[in-house]
Amino acid sequence: MCGIVGCTGSMPVKKVLVEGLKRLEYRGYDSAGVAIQQDGALEVVHRVGKVAGLESELACRDLRGTCGIGHTRWATHGRPSTVNAHPHASCDGRIAVVHNGIIENFAELREQLQARGHVFASETDTEVLAHLLEEAYAECPGDLLTALRRALQHVIGAYGVAAVCADEPGVIACARKDSPIVVGRGKDASYVASDIIALIDATRDVVVLEDGQLARLTPESITYFDERGREIEPEITHVDWDVDLAEKGGYPDFMLKEIHEQPRVVRDTLAGRMVGGELSIDELGLSYEELNLIDRVYVIACGTSYHAGLIAKNLIERWARIPTEVEVASEFRYRNPIITPSTLVVAVSQSGETADTLAAIRDARIRGAKVFGITNVVGSPVARESDGVIYTKANKEIAVASTKSFLGQVVSLTLLALLLAQTKGRLTTAQVRLLFRELGDTAEQIERILHDTEAIDEAAYACKDAASALFVGRGIGSAICYEGALKLKEISYLHAEAYAAGEMKHGPIALIDDGFPVIAVATESPVYDKLVSNLKECEARGALIVAIATEGDEEIKKIARHVIYVPKVRDCFTPITASVPLQLFARAIALLRGCDVDQPRNLAKSVTVE
Ligand code: AGP
């Protein structure tokens, strides 16, 4: 979603801001802008569309200022337009702000500010901040940090915010509440951003502001404050990932690069988990006794992470025999779930900052549940607000469509299911070890799938012009279908739905006519024959069947026009192998349809608003 960058130093800042904004493009946005201090005033430039457009516009301007802020906006309040793009300025144009998050009481604040004579230029919630700051600054001229702190006292909602003022050359003030802000010192400059990735060219030592904290940046130093304005000593986080991670590494797009990283994700997620022949997840934060008491599990998540939860339900119930519910976080938070002290809530989130998932975690904890987070981002709000956490070891995921982080989630949830089964004594140590070993073998099996993708490309070509597609499976295979369908619709804009195959004749089969694509996860399983019967019914009505099948299955060729083979694995591990061809299938169709696979329209990498 929205992204923030800011820099103050001794060199012109225009290029730094543009490069920082480019690093944030992966989050999804619809407009971009900068505010740069120049000759005692602020120059504000915004554009609808890509950062490249803003860059061209800035290239024509003689901007030499050495302090400025920038923003990529994903529209929430007000359509994508130049006037709604950040930065937003005060009436006198001497203060400018960029903001991530939502100001919930903006309508009320706007009315009050208008009554006091402020004139608004945009429809955004953010603009109230610029005007509040203008008023607060009049009370403490020359102290932007204090003015920001006071202005924010009127605000209800979430914010990561950075501000500059024409009267304070070289100063940036920033603050956070429920929306990330990171700050760091480079060689000759100070930097702020909403995401570490925008800073890694400048520094590896960053401070992730806590909720309520503020920072004042100058070219020489950064000073940190708590919400009462007292100076504090922050904790410095060292970031050890490589700049290369943020690059495509020779692949045509991030999505393909990330799909190819999946064997490594499996290996890294499993590394160090089998200690002395026993499965161990120390970070769980729960004792053996507490684990043993668990009698109900909720998995809460959104989107792709929710689909990982569907797989977890199957495995936890299969192995540990603990009743497990999977629920989208936006529903969970608004109903009255049955939670007791023996309920374990597992919150799954790649970004670790999804607003609905965070709200659901808070709700579950208030109700007395233990919350266990599964996330890809170290130190993210989900990690910090959970009792324990597993990091998925996927490393930074840039493409908006989750691939490697989904796989990391599935592997982590499989480990959790095995641990619960081991603790409850439902699986013997020998069974756990065997399953763990086979789980590890999937890394090599994925490599084999990635090695030969011809059948996937052919199937994609056959389906590329369809208006709609159905993904069907049975058992754990149906859970994979939900993810396959989401992947296809989000990056290719081809409408797709997933169904448990047994449901076809209760309605969806009415859709089938000549050439209608039915993508089936038809790998070897106890319900394989049942699935084949369902597929025959579709084939009889003209469906174009694409089957993901187990190597050696010749029978399936009689009904499927395209067969994509995956190595033979135990049924419980098909989510890992079968999801890889579905990712490649979605990407291939998206490219054939001319779509931008890394940055699909209307989507954001990190959904920090409700
Ligand atoms: C995945 O391809 C999607 N872009 C999206 O559904 C995503 O999984 C969802 O927004 C949840 O995000 P999270 O895992 O960061 O919480």
398 alpha carbon – ligand 1 mean position (Å): 12
95 alpha carbon – ligand 1 mean position (Å): 35
400 alpha carbon – ligand 1 mean position (Å): 8
- Alpha-carbon separation of residue 453 from 450, 480, 513, 574 (angstroms): 6, 19, 28, 18
Q: Give every strand in the sheet of 468-473, ordered side by side.
A: 495-500, 468-473, 517-522, 544-550, 562-566
Q: Give how far the C-alpha of residue 11 lies from the chain's centroid of Cα atoms, to the nearest Å.
A: 34
Taking CB atoms and a 6 Å cutoff, what residues make up the pocket around ligand 1? 302-305, 349-351, 354, 357, 400-402, 490, 603, 606-607
CA distance 34 to 47: 9
**pLDDT of 241 higher than 70:** no
- Closest Cα to atom 16 of ligand 1: 349
Atom from ligand 1 closest to the CA of residue 304 = 8
Residue entry with tokens 């480019």: 22
Atom from ligand 1 closest to the CA of residue 402 = 2
Cβ proximity of 349 and 302 under 8 Å: yes
Predicted structure pTM score: 0.74
Phi, psi (deg, nearest 5) at residue 488: -65, -50
Cβ proximity of 97 and 163 under 8 Å: yes
Phi, psi (deg, nearest 5) at residue 306: -65, -40
CA distance 564 to 582: 10
The one-letter amino acid at 90: S
Cβ proximity of 102 and 90 under 8 Å: no
Q: Quick: pLDDT tens for 411-467.
A: 999 999 999 999 999 999 999 999 999 999 999 999 999 999 999 999 999 999 999
Atom from ligand 1 closest to the CA of residue 357 = 16
Residue 605 designated active-site: yes
**pLDDT of 570 higher than 80:** yes
Percent of the chain clearing pLDDT 90 (strictly above): 72
Phi, psi (deg, nearest 5) at residue 97: -130, 150
Q: Quick: pLDDT tens for 467-526.
A: 999 999 999 999 999 999 999 999 999 999 999 988 888 988 888 999 999 999 999 999
Q: Identify any residues that bridge with 41 across adjacent strands, giving them in sequence order.
A: 38
- Closest Cα to atom 8 of ligand 1: 304
Model confidence band, residue 605 (pLDDT cutoffs 50, 70, 90): confident
**pLDDT of 244 higher than 80:** no
CA distance 547 to 563: 5
Q: Quick: pLDDT tens for 384-403.
A: 889 889 888 888 888 999 99
* Ligand 1 pocket test target in 27, 195, 299, 304 with most atoms within 8 Å of CB: 304
Residue 2 designated active-site: yes
